[in-house]
Amino acid sequence: MSVREEIIEILNVIKKNVDYDKETALVDNGILESLEIVSLVNELSDTFDVEITVNDLVPENFNSVDGMVEMIERLED
Amino acid sequence: MKNILELLEKSAKKYPDKTAFADIDNADSYSELIKKSMAIGTFVAKKQIRNKAIAVYMTQSVNSVEAMLGVVYSGNHYVVIDGKMPENRIKNIFSIVKPSLIICDAEHIELSEQLDVDFCCISDITETNADEELLNSIRASQIDTDPVYILFTSGSTGTPKGTVINHRNVLAYSEWLCETFDINENTIYGNQTPFYFSMSVSDVYGTLRSGATLNIIPKKYFSFPVQLINYLNERKVNTIYWVPSALALVANWKALDSLKLDYIEKIMFAGEAIAAKHLNYWRKHLPNAMYANLFGPTETTDICAYWIQNREIADNESVPIGKACDNCECLIIDENGKQADEGELYVRGSFISYGYFNNPDTTVKAFVQNPLNHSYPEKVYKTGDLVRKNKYGELEYISRKDFQIKHMGYRIELGEVEAAANAPEKIKNACAVYDSATDEIILIYEGRKFEEKEYLDILAGSLPTYMMPSKIIRIKNMPYNANGKIDRVWLSKNYKTI
């Protein structure tokens, strides 16, 4: 499974019925709420074994799946 | 003083152009706030509604405050409904209070239409011409034991309970608050708590009483510490009164290692026990700020006891709740109804509500005759919380009475297990539950994976053997209930399947 597919799978567990492929304002439009973001961050760091630091925790990295893929790939390096 | 509107009117006279309330998009000066509240008050009053509940149903904003105060101008009391509250819970609350009107924002018009109650949109009514004569005559007919608001809490059974809080409660409480913490015209609040939660009463009425400024922090910033801290600096926030989990967020992300809070002077918290570890993180980075742990239920307006930090607290210690607020008394009552150093907390004084709306059965159970007074009628509030006096003579919170368990013949407070379990750095959050069927203490934690043996060794350093958990379970995400507290009921039912 690609990083992208894995992220979408995680997102679908956290919240269903969102078109994660297309959505680019998951945070800004309030689609993901505080606790869901906390879950998401925990899941991402666990699944990809990366350390997401406070400076990575900005809306731009979580508004779209692309943003998350980019962040994970950067952190994996 | 007999009406909370006098707080607003006094501050508006002194600081007409000063910002009273601000959110991310809008701000009201004191004179604008008074004008809009009077407009709303006139609109509602002209509907001939008096001494009735009126729902304020919107996303938390400056508009919410205008609506709340407007309702009070009209001689009614407000019920704040969270903009995201599930429809069933709203209907449940409405079946208890039967509101005469909903004031909503544009975003909630469609949802309001489904609620079978007359409603109006705030943007349509803030331009109403204020009828001062009408508002004055309403004011003259009111007394200080008339309600200001009804605030709903979950209640252990899941049925919402609506605590009725009157003018005298809010006036007495806010007077104590402002004097004790020197809340004044230079105070700039960063508001975290929702207006349907009792802690917000301190922010809102502390602001109105002292002519301070309150900034509503957008909820989503509590997921993004960098944005949160930038916002607090931009708005020059110097006073925060947050739930511990909001302070924990900043600590768990070590946000203050790389970012600086430029203006914070006062840090207060309530709503849940704070882990000493999180408090110590803040203290390390803001050593000169004042820290205060506040304690109280909705039924005492917000708070009945407080502790201003005056000594070091170790990471595995519990943070005391200190002493009773001025003009408030905290009684510790044992099982025989006698005063003791450990027992259930009863509270008496002017902060105490008269009881729950449309709920006489629950009211008589919680608002009872002072067990120490056999001479004349005196209602006190029985909190259901267990407290004790520590060696400094300070009150210490133990746990809810319902959480006290009997295990291997010992009486155990799960809160103590949690205080020890929260100490290790890897642990973000720990919760202890008791399975009465197997007579086991189960510890559930969120955080980086921990070898069970290593964790147990650390716990053994602060807990006697009989308090050690039988099982330790790691959970990826701690479940929370609607008020943002750990959902213990869910955990104790479902821990086996996590």
pLDDT at B154: 66
Other Cβ atoms within 10 Å of A66 Cβ, number = 12
Residue B332 pairs in a beta bridge with: B345
Q: How would residue B477 be classed by pLDDT, with cut points 50, 70 and 90?
A: confident
Among the partner residues A33, A55, A58, nearest to B258 by beta-carbon distance: A55
A residues 28-47 lying closer than 8 A (beta carbon) to B: 30, 33-35, 37-39, 42-43, 46
Asked if residue B291 lies in contact with residue B279, where contact means CB atoms within 8 angstroms, the answer is: yes
The percentage of chain B sitting over the pLDDT mark of 70, rounded to a whole number, equals 98
Kindly provide the ipTM of the predicted complex, given to two decimals. 0.83
pLDDT at B482: 67
Asked if residue B88 lies in contact with residue B113, where contact means CB atoms within 8 angstroms, the answer is: no
A interface mutation test: which of B220, B260, B445, B449 has the most A CBs within 10 A? B220
- For residue B273, give both structure tokens: 């026990």
B220 and A42 within 8 Å at the Cβ level: the answer is no
> Mean pLDDT of all residues in chain B?
93
B interface mutation test: which of A13, A34, A43, A44 has the most B CBs within 10 A? A34
How many cross-chain Cβ pairs, A to B, lie less than 8 Å apart?
46
The verdict on B243 touching A (C-beta cutoff 8 Å) is no
Asked if residue B71 lies in contact with residue B78, where contact means CB atoms within 8 angstroms, the answer is: yes
Rounded to a whole number of angstroms, the distance from the CA of A2 to the nearest CA of chain B is 22
Instruction: For residue B148, give Cα distances in angstroms to B45, B300, B303, B356.
Output: 15, 14, 17, 14
| Distance separating alpha carbons of residues B356 and B379, to the nearest angstrom | 14
Each residue's pLDDT tens digit, B105-154: 999 999 999 999 999 999 999 999 999 999 999 999 999 999 999 999 86
Other Cβ atoms within 10 Å of B252 Cβ, number = 22
Q: DSSP labels for B356-371? A: ETT-HHHHHHHEEE-T
The verdict on A51 touching B (C-beta cutoff 8 Å) is no
Q: DSSP labels for B440-453? A: EEEEEEEES---HH
pTM of the model: 0.87
Helix pair B5-14, B30-45: axis angle to 10 deg:
140
Each residue's pLDDT tens digit, B124-134: 999 999 999 99
B interface mutation test: which of A38, A41, A47 has the most B CBs within 10 A? A38
Phi, psi of B168 (to 5 degrees): -65, -40
| Distance separating alpha carbons of residues B488 and B337, to the nearest angstrom | 29
B224 and A58 within 8 Å at the Cβ level: the answer is yes
Asked if residue B196 lies in contact with residue B152, where contact means CB atoms within 8 angstroms, the answer is: yes
> Is the pLDDT higher at B157 or at A77?
A77
Which contiguous run of DSSP H or E holds residue B153? strand B147-153
Tally DSSP H helices, then E strands, for chain B: 17, 26
Task: Classify B10 as helix, strand or coil.
Answer: helix
The verdict on B228 touching A (C-beta cutoff 8 Å) is no
Pick from B359, B248, B245, B367: which is nearest to B297 by CA? B367
Residue of A nearest to B246 (CA): A34
Q: How would residue B55 be classed by pLDDT, with cut points 50, 70 and 90?
A: very high
> Is the pLDDT higher at B370 or at B454?
B370
The average pLDDT across B483-492 equals: 81
Tell me the torsion sign for CA atoms B204, B208, B212, B218. positive
Rounded to a whole number of angstroms, the distance from the CA of B131 to the nearest CA of chain A is 39
A58 and B226 within 8 Å at the Cβ level: the answer is yes
B227 and A27 within 8 Å at the Cβ level: the answer is no
Asked if residue B195 lies in contact with residue B68, where contact means CB atoms within 8 angstroms, the answer is: yes
Pick from B93, B96, B92, B28: which is nearest to B64 by CA? B28
Q: How would residue A1 be classed by pLDDT, with cut points 50, 70 and 90?
A: confident
B225 and A33 within 8 Å at the Cβ level: the answer is no
Q: DSSP labels for B366-418? A: HEEE-TT--SS--EEEEEEEEEEE-TTS-EEEEEEGGGEEEETTEEEEHHHHH
Q: How would residue B438 be classed by pLDDT, with cut points 50, 70 and 90?
A: confident
The verdict on A25 touching B (C-beta cutoff 8 Å) is no
Instruction: For residue B457, give Cα distances in angstroms to B277, B420, B442, B444, B452.
Output: 18, 11, 16, 16, 9
**Chain A residues with beta carbon closer than 8 angstroms to that of B255:** 54
- For residue B117, give both structure tokens: 């109650």
Residue of A nearest to B446 (CA): A42
Among the partner residues A33, A34, A57, nearest to B253 by beta-carbon distance: A57
The verdict on A27 touching B (C-beta cutoff 8 Å) is yes
Rounded to a whole number of angstroms, the distance from the CA of B369 to the nearest CA of chain A is 42
The verdict on A60 touching B (C-beta cutoff 8 Å) is no
Rounded to a whole number of angstroms, the distance from the CA of A37 to the nearest CA of chain B is 7
Among the partner residues A27, A38, A55, nearest to B477 by beta-carbon distance: A38
The average pLDDT across B458-484 equals: 85
Read off the amino acid at residue B183: I
Residue B155 has pLDDT above 80, yes or no: no
- For residue B17, give both structure tokens: 């152009």
CA B250 centroid distance within chain: 19
The average pLDDT across B155-164 equals: 74
